[in-house]
Amino acid sequence: TVLAWRDALEGDRQLLDGAVEGELGIQTMRGITWADDGSRIFVGVQPREPVEDEEEEEKDERNANGADSVPGLEIWHSRDIDPVPQQRVRANMERNRSHILSWELGMDPVLLGGGEAGESISLLPDHTGAILQDDTPYGLARMFGPIYRDVYHVDGSDGERRLLAEEIEFFSGVSPDATWAIFFRDDHWHTIELATGEIRNITEGLPTTFTNEKRDIVVPQKPPHGLGGWVEGDQDVLLYDEYDVWQVAADGSGGERLTAGAEDEIRHRLVRLDWDEPAFPADGPHLVSLYGEWTKRSGYGRIEAPGQVERLVWDDRMISRLSRADDETTHFYMTQRYDEPPAFHVVDGDWGDARRVVQSNAFIDEFRIGRSELIDYENDWGVPLQAALYYPADYEEGREYPMIVYHYERLSQGLHGWTNPSDRSAYNTRVFTQNGYFVLQPDIVYRPRNPGLSAMEAILPAVDAAVATGMIDESAIGIIGHSWGGYQTTFAVTQTDRFAAAVAGAPLTNLVSMYLSFYWNTGSTDARIFEISQGRMEVPWWEDFESYRLNSPVHHIEAMDTPLLMMFGDEDGAVEFNQGVEFYNAARRAAKDFVLLVYEGENHSLSERPNQEDYHRRSLEWFDHYLKGAEAPAWITEGVPYLEQQEKLQRGPAAGRR
């Protein structure tokens, strides 16, 4: 039931239920929204569940048969647009789908829609209607490719739909005054004038690209760098290229660059301090965050005029979380560095000298904690890259130390991030450095259809660059990663003997069988991940089996000479546990040094503290044995019989160390 009053004191009460058509019922999960002018209410509605008449005799027979008479069945069909596992995961969301109903008090309500499968709907900022997106025309395409949608304007007064644009992948909403909609296609930003439906390419004449060309996935259209917001008045939109902010006329009449980041490869991004304001003020000044692509310096600046940015704070630290006090002049921000715990600073309106007001971990000066630095290198095909190198806490010049390589895709941007030590993660950089290891975190870029080989072409040159410093014991280098990093780790040890030991958490090991599996946490097929996302394989395996084979660790098991520790949860919903089983069976048959840790009831990342601590401890024991020569417990050298495992685990971690 929805009750509404125009004047509560006068008791002018109106009831929506009676005005809703009989087959629709109010759905409370969407909530109730008032138009800003108070003229109408928007609520969610959905079809009522039909109440079927049932003869008493039929009801008695059904109750007598009970649940045992119903088959436990799902029907999976090759023409399913959404695979059944995905439908199962989304079942509750689909049950709660609702249309938006627009109700002007005193008038009949108007159904705006949005509740059908494949539809999504959002109200316009001025509450005069809605934008509806519909992906159903592209169902077959989105089974294994990008998701496209048709975009409609829905009139709030009569529910009329008007098609605005077809086959849109990157739709970025509506301007604050509902004058324009905006989307990205064919490497350009386009606006739609909502009043007329006219579409304009607003960036084709500007001397830059707004496409994120460094996003090295294989898709028809790479994503844009982003939209920073709108300028009040709805005439201009703020767009990003790789390094700069552009103010572009929404009608396509031109634009100008507000910052000058490209010259020094410093990324500028707008800072929104008041999220209650839907647009940036026309007269500025605009604050921007700053990040040096190759220096990793960061800070904040202020746009004084087009192309002129005053750097307010700029340092060899990670500087973030800018906020503003209610007086609108006092600002706060946080700084951190690998060897400096996070601290909060306050600065007045003229951005003079900042004052530190909060220092976390103030006791840290009592400990050795190491430091970090950048290493520059090129991958095998000449792309300039960087790696973050973290020093052992006990570093002494002239000594050589063991090193652990931790990797994923691009990680050098974490150079200045503070890390608290923790025994609940096997990948904690601080724990490794406190235990006398260098840690190297390299950047990786990819060639289509060669994810594993691309990783090798970046990781090995990074290792060479680190060894060239003279600080690394070349015979004591380990490698570790999780998920995609676990895949690259497992692949690496089948390609090179450069590493003395390896640890891989939840890795892909067979790209063909992984392609044919599901990402069970969401129910979506892994095929999409391989063709248009992180896998970067572009085509199904039967169209290029050789590339799938060449980049699958299990297909090179005979070449693996590096001891490998692998971890899986037996309920992994991201990388199927059977990926570990396949590699385990291959390693046993090939007589390789391999240990598989299987944690009962765990998903893709360990969540239970005893399991987290156990994996953490065993990873350290693995590296300490193979990289430092520490004595190996029996679980590393010979395995532990199942009954003995269970007995010792019941007696606690110390007993389980065998």
Strand segments (E) across 220-285: 227-230, 236-240, 245-249, 255-257, 266-270
Average pLDDT over residues 115-140: 96
What phi, psi does 600 have (nearest 5°)? Answer: -65, 130
Write the single-letter amino acid at 624.
Answer: D
CA dihedral 142, 146, 147, 150 (to 10 degrees): -110
Write the single-letter amino acid at 190.
Answer: H
DSSP letter (8 states) at residue 280: B
Distance in angstroms (rounded) separating the CA atoms of residues 510 and 236 = 50
Average pLDDT over residues 62-75: 77
Q: What is the pLDDT of residues 271-311, one digit of tens each?
A: 999 989 999 999 888 999 999 999 999 999 999 999 999 99
Q: What is the pLDDT of residues 131-164, one digit of tens each?
A: 999 999 999 888 999 999 999 999 999 999 999 9
> Strand 501-505 relative to strand 355-359: parallel, antiparallel, unpaired?
unpaired
Distance in angstroms (rounded) separating the CA atoms of residues 319 and 300 = 8
Average pLDDT over residues 243-269: 98
Q: What's the Cα-to-Cα distance from 635 to each of 49, 318, 461, 486, 565, rounded to whole Å?
A: 58, 41, 33, 21, 11
Q: What's the pLDDT band for 57 if we cut at 50, 70, 90?
A: low
% of the chain exceeding 70 in pLDDT:
93
Q: What's the pLDDT band for 649 if we cut at 50, 70, 90?
A: confident
Answer left, alpha or beta for residue 231, where phi above 0 means left and psi between -120 and 50 means alpha: beta
Answer left, alpha or beta for residue 452, where phi above 0 means left and psi between -120 and 50 means alpha: alpha
At how many degrees (to 10) do helices 451-467 and 484-492 cross?
70
At 602 the pLDDT is: 98
Distance in angstroms (rounded) separating the CA atoms of residues 31 and 41 = 10
Write the single-letter amino acid at 649.
Answer: L
Q: What's the pLDDT band for 563 if we cut at 50, 70, 90?
A: very high
Q: What's the pLDDT band for 104 if we cut at 50, 70, 90?
A: confident
Q: Could you tell me the domains of the chain?
A: 1-50+81-168 (no CATH), 367-657 (3.40.50.1820)
Distance in angstroms (rounded) separating the CA atoms of residues 483 and 501 = 18
Q: Which of 549, 527, 550 is nearest to 539 (CA)?
A: 527
Q: What's the Cα-to-Cα distance from 299 to each of 241, 319, 336, 619, 621, rounded to whole Å?
A: 19, 5, 11, 37, 40
DSSP letter (8 states) at residue 239: E
Q: What's the pLDDT band for 252 if we cut at 50, 70, 90?
A: very high
Q: Are 427 and 612 in contact (CB under 8 A)?
A: no
What phi, psi does 243 have (nearest 5°)? Answer: -120, -15
At 61 the pLDDT is: 65
442 - beta bridge partners? 387
With tokens 């037996």, the residue in question is: 570
At 54 the pLDDT is: 56
At 4 the pLDDT is: 72
Q: Which of 618, 644, 601 is nearest to 563 (CA)?
A: 618
At 631 the pLDDT is: 97
Average pLDDT over residues 299-325: 97
DSSP-H helix ranges across 533-608? 545-550, 578-590
Q: What's the Cα-to-Cα distance from 215 to each of 39, 225, 298, 411, 647, rounded to whole Å?
A: 46, 10, 22, 14, 50
Q: What's the pLDDT band for 658 if we cut at 50, 70, 90?
A: low
Half-sphere exposure of 305 (CA within 13 A, CB side): 0
What phi, psi does 78 have (nearest 5°)? Answer: -65, -15
Euclidean distance between the first and the last CA atom of the chain, given in angstroms as a whole number: 65
Whether pLDDT at 21 is above 90: no
Distance in angstroms (rounded) separating the CA atoms of residues 29 and 41 = 15
% of the chain exceeding 90 in pLDDT:
84
Q: What is the pLDDT of residues 327-359, one digit of tens each?
A: 889 999 999 999 999 999 999 988 989 999 999
Q: Are 382 and 376 in contact (CB under 8 A)?
A: no
Q: What is the pLDDT of residues 399-450, one digit of tens each?
A: 999 999 999 999 999 999 999 999 999 999 999 999 999 999 999 999 999 9
Q: What's the pLDDT band for 39 if we cut at 50, 70, 90?
A: confident
Q: Are 468 and 433 in contact (CB under 8 A)?
A: no
DSSP reduced 3-state for 374: strand
Distance in angstroms (rounded) separating the CA atoms of residues 483 and 494 = 17
With tokens 């490998």, the residue in question is: 564
Whether pLDDT at 51 is above 70: no
Write the single-letter amino acid at 118.
Answer: G
DSSP reduced 3-state for 23: coil
Q: What is the pLDDT of residues 223-235, one digit of tens each?
A: 999 999 999 999 9
Write the single-letter amino acid at 364.
Answer: I
Round the average pLDDT of the chain to a whole number and report it: 94
Q: Which of 642, 560, 638 is nearest to 598 (CA)?
A: 642
DSSP letter (8 states) at residue 90: T
At 8 the pLDDT is: 60
At 653 the pLDDT is: 57
At 108 the pLDDT is: 86
Average pLDDT over residues 165-191: 98
DSSP-H helix ranges across 316-446? 429-434
DSSP letter (8 states) at residue 49: P
Is residue 628 within a helix (H) or strand (E), and if so which, with residue range? helix 609-628
